[in-house]
Structure 1
Amino acid sequence: MLNTENLGFKINNKSILTNLNLKFQSGKIYGLIGHNGSGKSSLIKILANQQKGYEGKVWLDDKNINEYHSKEFAKKIAYLPQTLPNTAHLNGYELVSMGRYAHQSGFIRDKEKDDKIVLEALKDTNTLKFKDQEVATLSGGEKSRLFLAMLLAQESKFLLLDEPLAPLDISYQIEVMQLIQKLSKERNLGIIIVIHDINLASVYCDDLIALKGGTLTYNINAKNIMNCAYLQNIYGIKASIITHPVSKQNIAVF
């Protein structure tokens, strides 16, 4: 269980987040939605223990996240920022192996176990074919799946993803969301994702947390977000809700 208690955050006396009380469980996908500047990235950075100076508390398994040693914390929460790490000259296997860092002590490592877990992560993300290929030569969607494999190799309970779809075209966005949904269910992972496409969010997420000006606007089942009044309150513009002719799911048209 990951939860926040009266969480607030300010920059130069400007409130970025205000009094957030949220709970996140394993086996579910939580979409963080809202307009630009609503506090989504600040929230996910705090949950990942990458942002200091906030008010309130963040609890992970009934322990304050500030009390965790960095490697102990990494075994429970894996974080993928908007700006991805430099992977120049790394091949797929080497990139995914970076996820094993939290499970190594100095120069001591269980190579056989690490290799097994890395290969499983590559298989589960359908990236095994890229294990000997330089990451720099891959497409955006292929890189995204490799980075997800790296997080899986970390064997954390929660994956925190800050706008992983932003650099991808629509086909890769769908592919990555399908993979995230599959991994969450099969591995009982709690996944928190900053996402801008409300239609993808409503289809692939379980719950949506909508922020507006750093405050909580809605925390609801993703299927219930397709409401004109809700969407106007979140984004400040009118939307039409129509039924998709094939899937029969409600979609928003702005």
Structure 2
Amino acid sequence: MLEVSGLKAGYGQIEVLHGIDFHVNQGECVALIGANGAGKSTALKTVCGLVKPRGGTIRFQGRDITGASGHEIVRAGITMCPEGRQVFPEMTVLQNLKLGAYTRRDAEQADDLDEMMQMFPILRKRARQAAGTLSGGEQEMLAIARALMARPKVCIFDEPSLGLAPKIVAEVAETIARIKARGMTILLVEQNSLMALKLADRAYLFEVGKVVLEGTGEALQQNPDVARAYLGD
């Protein structure tokens, strides 16, 4: 569904990605793991049109989207739940959710809004509340629901557990698992490597802007080098 080949990208004079390759099949959850600064989030931002590629190709459902703008990527069917949530703090929860469907022109947005309220009951309780007044966990749920309101074909999660308490991290992981069970195709970057590998069908290990290892989530959990370096074993 999503194929990245030889991708190079960076910021200013610094090249962060040095020709990476990865792909995501329909219905899969694919995780990108690795240390801070390995290039995981840059890879996501480049796929989403927020960072311009310097080389390589990005293909989505067979279509070349290399270098497309962010709004073109969203219209194509890829949405991101960004690092740090990035809700619109002065707007209400309801307004944030409706913005998730900004590119849609169908008549089913109200049905999807109700579905999000059912999936995340706390958002129904907080519907008229300013998003900036929510807790970190509540904002994460809002960011996820906002991304789903676009009816994406691929949903990208960038560090969804960042800054959250362990109990809330477990709830976020359960939420992503439920979304995957609904058939959503997921690309996940997560500093909590154990959480990521438990959720992932397949995963790629990034080191200094390169992919150095690929395998199933289970296989990477059992890899002794990965366990020592990233799983605290």
2:9/2:51 contact within 8 Å kept: no
Q: 1:69 to 1:42 in 2, by over 3 A?
A: closer
Aligned to 2:232: 253
Q: Distance in 2 between matches of 1:12 and 1:92?
A: 36
Question: Mind listing any 5+ residue stretches in structure 1 that lack a counterpart?
Answer: 105-109, 240-251
Corresponding residue number in structure 2 for 1:224? 219
Helix, strand or coil at the partner of 2:102: helix
Out of 166, 169, 172, the residue aligned to residue 168 of structure 2 is 172
- Say whether 1:122 aligns with 2:117: yes
1:56 paired residue number: 56
Using the alignment, how far apart are the partners of 2:104 and 2:126 within structure 1?
23
Pair 1:180–1:86, CA change in 2 (3 A): closer
Asked if 1:190 corresponds to 2:185, the answer is yes
Residue aligning to 1:98: 99
Report how far residue 54 of structure 1 moved.
2.2
Deviation at 1:35, TM superposition (A): 0.9
Task: Check whether the contact 2:189–2:196 (CA below 8 A) recurs between aligned residues.
Answer: no
Other-structure match for 2:37: 37
| Distance in 2 (alpha carbons) for counterparts of 1:87 and 1:14 | 31
Residue 141 of structure 2 aligns with which residue? 145
**Structure 1 runs of 4+ with >6 Å offset:** none
C-alpha RMSD of the superposition: 2.2
Contact 2:32 2:189 in 1 (8 A): yes
Structure 1 vs Structure 2: percent identity of aligned residues?
21
Which one of the candidate residues 190, 200, 203 is aligned to 1:208?
Answer: 203
Q: What does the per-residue CA deviation read over 1:134-177, in whole Å, with 9 as the maximum and x for residues that have no partner?
A: 22222111111111111111001111121121121111111011
In structure 2, the residue matched to 1:155 is: 151
- How do residues 3-14 of structure 1 correspond to structure 2 at under 5 angstroms? 3-11=3-11, 13-14=13-14
TM-score by length of 1: 0.82
Larger Rg: 1
What 5-or-longer segments of structure 2 have no aligned partner? none
Query: Normalising to structure 2: TM-score of the pair?
Result: 0.89
